[in-house]
Structure 1
């Protein structure tokens, strides 16, 4: 499926209209369609008014119930997938204020129980020292003090014992020299400390693991429960909410996880690399 970013906002209303038209074409009242789909009439009404974005399974059930032909059904399935996709570009975030994005992430973190972070390029904000956070924002203009403060404030979520966090980083991400050697040593010490928090599981995929790795990391992504996955690019973030997309990324994460080392083995690697940055390496 291909899409234009500007079409994502329209797809929800387009989907609602298309489903409403297919029901009317089939000559079905909302109550009758609801019975065929084993849904409530209220749910059908909310879908057709655009108040509720249906899952792909919902859409497939409705299309089967109204007997849509293949071309019409394919178009509507495409609309449904697009309706579950959101593009957040960096330029829009800068115009709104980067601190607003931090507020959105904090709200998402509040309602999430299980987090999975795959980090092949750099260290994420929840794990970062103040120096590293500032350096990660260096390409942005203006006063970033609020954004830095809110990024650091969000780290308190790691202490919430009702949540679980799994971070998988590549060695390249951990050792990429974003800040001075001494600041990098402090950043790696921070990773060691965070890895000891009971609800945090932090692993690193070392370059010298031995043996071939058949999976090729393509991007940074974060899984929030089974609710959504956020994929980061150089110019923004793609948000996918369809369960099939989320499950595909969960499968990817579990494969990458098998290549990582955790616990004391991970902490020993991080400590050795920290000593190398500080000039005290063996």
Structure 2
């Protein structure tokens, strides 16, 4: 299903955040790859508000970024409740792109350090210097083996065909092999925080 962002956000973005709550609550295994921004489920309210405000301005849709950011953070309760598992991959560039001011970025990066300590979260960072076996892709979310959601500039694409989901799963697996985890990921996040000074 191909849904234009402008149509989805025509009354603001808060509703779009709330509509995915059942999908989030029903998913046991999340696999998320982001090459451009911190995944929504890991965003702080300040970071989400700064990002959503820019999106509303670009799209020319109503700016309810504060309310939408609060809803986005609220839907992230799945990180701390239930038996959900999260495998998240970020390109190192995500740690360096300035969304909001330096304080907003420092808070966001600090939150990544806290979240990666959760026992149900695996957070990998694909270094700038990684030898690429898969090129940087558009952001995508895998919800169990049921759905892949892909974020394009103009639209969200929700894929449910098993053959296509398996292609995204293959890409995720190959991207995961290029990532660093644990102390390697923490070092890159810490370096990004230090660069904000």
Query: Structure 1 length normalisation: TM-score?
Result: 0.65
Q: 1:200: which partner in 2? A: 121
Match of 1:163 among 79, 84, 88: 84
Give, in whole Å, the separation in 1 of the partners of 2:179 and 2:122: 11
CA distance in 2, matches of 1:241, 1:220: 16
1:133-282 alignment runs, 5 A limit: 133-138=48-53, 139-140=55-56, 141-209=62-130, 212-277=131-196, 279=197
Name the structure 2 match of 1:28. none
Higher relative helix content:
1
In angstroms, what is the RMSD of aligned CA positions?
Answer: 1.3
Q: After TM superposition, give the deviation of residue 214 of structure 1 in Å.
A: 2.7
> What's 1:122 paired with?
37
Q: Deviations over 1:125-161 (max 9, x none)?
A: 2111222101111231333332121101012110124
Bigger proportion of residues as strand: 2
1:267 Cα offset (Å): 1.1
Distance 1:158 1:264, change over 3 A: same
On the 8 A contact 1:161/1:199 being kept in 2, the answer is no
Return the index of the structure with the highest Cα Rg: 1
Instruction: Please tell me whether the aligned partners of residues 13 and 64 of structure 2 are also in contact (alpha carbons under 8 angstroms).
Output: no
1:103 aligns with 2:18: yes
8 Å contact kept, 2:18–2:72: no
Higher RCO (C-alpha 8 Å, min separation 6): 2
Residue 181 of structure 1, CA deviation: 2.0
Structure 1 residues not aligned, in runs of 5+: 1-85
Please give the alpha-carbon distance, in whole angstroms, between the structure 2 residues aligned to 1:193 and 1:147: 23
Aligned mates of 2:41, 2:141 — CA distance in 1 = 12
State the Cα distance separating 1:96 from its structure 2 match. 4.4
Q: Which runs of 5+ in 2 are unaligned?
A: 57-61
Normalised by the size of structure 2, how large is the TM-score?
0.92
